Amino acid sequence: MPRKVTLASLGEELGVSDVAISKTLRCVERKLLTSGLRAATVHADTKRE
C-alpha cells in the first residue's frame, strides 16, 4: 500500500518546489491517459476488422 506523501515533502526530498512536482505529475498523468486511450482505440479498431 502506498504511503501518503505531500507534494511539499516530495519536492523537498527531490530538491524542487511543490509546484514543479505538481506540474510534472499532471503532465505525466496526461501522457499516460492519452497513451492508454490511444492503445485502447487501436485495439478496438483492430477487433472490428
- Cβ–Cβ under 8 Å, residues 11 and 21: yes
Confidence of residue 40 (pLDDT cuts 50, 70, 90): confident
DSSP 16: S
Q: Is residue 40 part of a domain?
A: yes
pLDDT surpassing 70 at residue 30: yes
Q: Please state the domain count of the chain.
A: 1
HSE of 9, CA atoms in CB hemisphere, 13 A: 4
Q: Is residue 38 part of a domain?
A: yes
**Mean pLDDT of all residues belonging to the chain:** 88
- Write out the three cell numbers for 3: 504511503
* Parent domain of 37: 11-48
Residues in the chain: 49
Q: Is residue 16 part of a domain?
A: yes
